[in-house]
Amino acid sequence: MVWDIALTRMKYFGYWALLILSSPCLAIQPSTPDAIPAPIRDLQWGQLNFLHTTDTHGWLAGHLQESKRASYGADWGDYVSFTTRMREKALAEGNDLLVIDTGDRVEGNGLYDASEPKGAYISDILRQQQIDVMSAGNHELYKQNTSETEFLATVPNFCGSYLASNIDIVHPTTGELVPLAPRFKKFTTEKQGIRIVAFGFLFDFTKNYNNTIVHTVEDTIKTNWFQEAIRDEEVDLFLVIGHVPVRSKEYNAVFEEIRNIHWDVPIQFFGGHYHIRDYARYDSKAYGLASGRFMETIGFMSIDGLATSKNRLKPAQATPSFNRRYIDNNLYSFHHHTGLDRDSFPTEHGRNVSHLIQQSRDALQLDRVHGCAPRDLWMTRVKYPSQDSIYTWLEKEVLPNQMKDDSRDEKPALVIVNTGAIRFDIFKGPFTQDTTFIVSPFTSGFRYIKDIPYEKAQTVVEILNKQPQILTAPMDHTNCTPWTLAPPEQSMHMHDKIVESDDVAAHYLTDQSRLPMSSPFAPEVFPGYTTADDGGIDGDDTVHSPISFYRVPNCIQALISPGTYADPETVDLVYIDFIEPYVALAAKLASLDLDFSRDSDVYMPFETLTDLILDWVKNNWKCEDA
């Protein structure tokens, strides 16, 4: 279809703009779906502006399999072009723009996980972006090799930008315990002369490998260096970034500590970890932004009315305004917000980065097809259990057919898998090498305790899913944290959010004057983010129809009982080794007298959930064209 070039601002759209392009917005990756035209809300620029990514988890090629479902197809090269054009736009107006990243850049996509060693390609791609302030996530610290790569490669690649306010690492060559990166930095922006003191935190993480130490945020803010940093009198803004939810005890503690010294200096927080779009208000001069997951979202934040080194204001006169926008990661949004088109938008550097991504994907054979999914399988868009639930598929089809340890001589087993082990949906169509790692990238194996009474084993699962004790029992000595079992985004959904199809058209414009659906100018909306936060319900740049969200249990279970349909008397209690502290605590609450360090053993050595899923797909999902 050929579209006329038109930029129409309609009275009933307010500050929205519907940009209709002469041709589709084409990304460089060959399999990327075209960006979908949609109504767009403009950005509100300020003296100081930010672009923010978090929890990218290796998705630097963008989303390549979601045609007609979403529009997150821009890759890291497109983002490099976008930041360049946005900096140009800010500087032309005499304002500043900073680029932020708050960690979890690893594990979750074939571009990272398919190489040996893992991450062999992604470091060179990531460093092509000019990031002004960045921090580590928990996924950078789970394994020794990952944290050492962070220390030896990523920190030097972003020298002067990478901050680690509460992380130490054992130096790989000297054995000395040293900070992963500088604790903080102070700098002044180029155009406005805004004096900024910046920190980079990680939440109170306890499951890191023993070559790193994560100091609690509450302890860190009492240290001499932090106290000296926040007592700086020549500061216009405190910038607190980190892999920390913006609604958390850690950020509340940082906020209160700064406010004890500076009651009126603005504070801007950037966070992540929960894989959600969120915007939190701490007070009238302090806000926090979380910008989603998996390269679906580019967070935009602006602050206007700041006192600066060039423009001193009395505290009572300084009333800065804060504005946020969640930008869908696609070329349609990028073109709109930069005012450019497919010819004028890309930079040479950005194109080169996109080609580097394509070459890396080709080298890793990420488009190699292993099978074809006959239907969509969803994590949270459908109710569990149901035919279209990925968890029902896992416990009814995959686990019963793939879980078998020859050394156990056909012994019945009850297999426990936490729902957080699945990271993304499966879409109808090709199941590729990339899909393998997108769905479940983790290298955790399986362990088991033999000869557990079946009823007791079932009780363990019930406790993991239902009993509050598993979440409220003392956590300090168990390394358990409540959000680890289920998908991270569930932490912000206490109840199901059910969207009736008939209600979609009536409600997607609730924050604006209604656009008559019979109008020939009515934009076609597609499902996507419809965020409600402390700023209201107009934060998403792209107007979407809402998506249902159904909560899922912490864990699913599958009974493997070869040759019989009767319930067995005893079973092997099998579980993913990552959740062993939870299983041990649940077993204790189920009155099982077990010492997991003594009684547990490896089940199906060298097999991971990723391997089991891939083997099942190869054997069961044939492609008609293969």
Residue 11's pLDDT band (cuts 50, 70, 90): very low
Which pLDDT belongs to residue 66?
Answer: 84
Which pLDDT belongs to residue 30?
Answer: 74
Residue 316's pLDDT band (cuts 50, 70, 90): very low
Using alpha carbons only, give the angle 397, 401, 402 rounded to the nearest 5 degrees.
Answer: 115
Q: Which residues contact 611 (CB under 8 A, 6 or more apart)?
A: none
Residue 14's pLDDT band (cuts 50, 70, 90): very low
Q: Which of 53-67, 157-171, 352-366, 465-479 has the lowest mean pLDDT?
A: 465-479
* pLDDT, averaged across the chain: 90
Mean pLDDT of 136-143: 98
Residue 280 confidence (pLDDT) above 70: yes
Cα distances from 255 to residues 35, 220, 251, 323, 407, in angstroms, run 39, 13, 6, 19, 55
- Residue by residue, DSSP assigns 48-114 as EEEEEE---TT-TT---S-TTT------HHHHHHHHHHHHHHHHHTT-EEEEEE-S--SSSSHHHHT
Residue 509's pLDDT band (cuts 50, 70, 90): very low
**pLDDT tens digit sequence for 428-484:** 999 999 999 999 999 999 999 999 999 999 999 999 998 654 555 544 444 555 557
The model carries a pTM of 0.92
Which pLDDT belongs to residue 601?
Answer: 98
Which pLDDT belongs to residue 505?
Answer: 42
Which pLDDT belongs to residue 547?
Answer: 95
DSSP state of 577: G
Residue scoring higher pLDDT (41 or 503):
41
Residue 504 confidence (pLDDT) above 90: no
**pLDDT tens digit sequence for 560-604:** 988 776 899 999 999 999 999 999 999 999 999 999 999 999 999
Which pLDDT belongs to residue 3?
Answer: 32
Residue 557 confidence (pLDDT) above 80: yes
Which pLDDT belongs to residue 506?
Answer: 42
Which pLDDT belongs to residue 68?
Answer: 60
Which pLDDT belongs to residue 284?
Answer: 97
3-state secondary structure of 124: helix
Residue 148's pLDDT band (cuts 50, 70, 90): very high
Q: Say which amino acid occupies 474.
A: P
Residue 371 confidence (pLDDT) above 70: yes
Tokens read off for 322: 């804060």
Per the CB < 8 A criterion, the answer to whether 46 and 301 are in contact is no
d(CA 625, CA 443): 32
Residue 420's pLDDT band (cuts 50, 70, 90): very high
Which pLDDT belongs to residue 564?
Answer: 74
Percent of the chain whose predicted confidence (pLDDT) is above 70? 87
Residue 32's pLDDT band (cuts 50, 70, 90): confident
Helices and strands counted in the chain (H then E): 19, 24
Sorted by where each starts, the structural domains of the chain and their CATH numbers stand as: 44-363 (3.60.21.10), 372-492+550-620 (3.90.780.10)
Residue 79 confidence (pLDDT) above 80: yes
Residue 404 confidence (pLDDT) above 80: yes
Residue 342's pLDDT band (cuts 50, 70, 90): very high
